[in-house]
Structure 1
Amino acid sequence: MSERDWNDVLTCEEALARLNIKAATLYAYVSRGLIRATPAEDGRKRLYLRRDIERLAARKRGRPPTGAVAESTLRLGDPVLHSAITQVTPHGPRYRNRLAVDLANSGAAFESVVHLLATGVWQSGLAVWSPLATPPDVLRSLSVYEGRVVSGDIGALLGMVPFALAMQGRGTREIADGGAVQAARLMLQSMAGCIGFLGPEQAFCPRADNESIAGQILRAAGAAVTADTLRAINTALVVLADNELAPATFSARVAASTNADIFSCVAAAIGSHIGFSTGTGTEKVETLLLCEPWSELDSRVERVREYGASLFGFNHPLYPGGDPRADLMLQTAEHIAAQRDSAPAARKRARVTLAFLERMRRELDAHPGVSLGLVTLARALGMPDGSATAIWIVSRTAGWVAHVMEQRTQAFLLRPRAKYEMTLSAENSAGA
Structure 2
Amino acid sequence: MAKIPTIVAYAYRKKLGLDKIEPKPNLDHVSNLLYMLFGEKTSKDEVAALEAYMILTAEHGLNASTFAARVVASTQSDVYSAVIAAIGALKGPLDGGAPTGVNLYLNEVKQSTVSEVIIQKLLNGEKIMGFGHRVYKTKDPRAEALKVQFNSMDPKPDWADFTLNVEKETVRELQQLKPGRNLYANVEFYAAAIMKAIGIPDELFTSIFCCSRMVGWISHIKEQSNNNVIFRPNAHYKPL
Task: State the TM-score, normalizing by the size of structure 1.
Answer: 0.48
Counterparts in 2 of 1:297 and 1:240: CA distance versus 1, 3 Å: farther
Post-superposition shift, 1:205?
4.0
Partner of 2:228: 411
- In the alignment, which of 297, 309, 314 is matched to residue 131 of structure 2? 314
CA–CA distance in 2 between the matches of 1:197 and 1:329?
Answer: 31
Task: Tell me whether 1:206 sits opposite 2:22 in the alignment.
Answer: yes
Partner of 2:169: 359
Partner of 2:180: none
Partner of 1:244: 61
Task: Tell me whether 1:291 sits opposite 2:107 in the alignment.
Answer: yes
Partner of 1:331: 148
Post-superposition shift, 1:385?
1.6
Max Rg structure = 1
CA–CA distance in 2 between the matches of 1:213 and 1:303?
Answer: 42
CA–CA distance in 2 between the matches of 1:385 and 1:418?
Answer: 39
Partner of 1:217: 33
Counterparts in 2 of 1:195 and 1:212: CA distance versus 1, 3 Å: farther
1:316-335 CA distances to partner (integer Å, 9 max, x unpaired)? 02111111112222222222
Post-superposition shift, 1:371?
1.9
Counterparts in 2 of 1:264 and 1:322: CA distance versus 1, 3 Å: same
Post-superposition shift, 1:192?
5.1
Partner of 1:259: 76
Q: CA RMSD in A?
A: 2.7
CA–CA distance in 2 between the matches of 1:294 and 1:371?
Answer: 19
| 1:14-413 matches, cutoff 5 A | 184-191=1-8, 193-196=10-13, 202=18, 204-222=20-38, 225-287=42-104, 289-291=105-107, 294=110, 296=112, 298=114, 299-303=116-120, 310-336=127-153, 339-340=154-155, 347-365=157-175, 366-413=183-230
Post-superposition shift, 1:418?
1.9
Uncovered stretches (5+) of structure 2, i.e. residues with no partner: 176-182
1:348-385 CA distances to partner (integer Å, 9 max, x unpaired)? 22221121112222343431122212111111222222
Task: State the TM-score, normalizing by the size of structure 2.
Answer: 0.83
CA–CA distance in 2 between the matches of 1:354 and 1:261?
Answer: 44
Q: Which amino acid aligns with 1:396?
A: R
* Conserved? CA contact 1:277–1:311, under 8 Å: no
Q: How much identity, in percent, do the aligned residues show?
A: 26
CA–CA distance in 2 between the matches of 1:305 and 1:227?
Answer: 40
CA–CA distance in 1 between the matches of 2:56 and 2:160?
Answer: 20
Which has the bigger relative contact order, CA under 8 A and spacing at least 6? Answer: 2
CA–CA distance in 2 between the matches of 1:293 and 1:368?
Answer: 16
Counterparts in 2 of 1:348 and 1:295: CA distance versus 1, 3 Å: farther
CA–CA distance in 2 between the matches of 1:324 and 1:380?
Answer: 21
Post-superposition shift, 1:394?
0.8
Q: Which amino acid aligns with 1:326?
A: A
Which range moves more in the overlay, 382-391 or 314-323? Answer: 382-391
Q: Which amino acid aligns with 1:364?
A: L
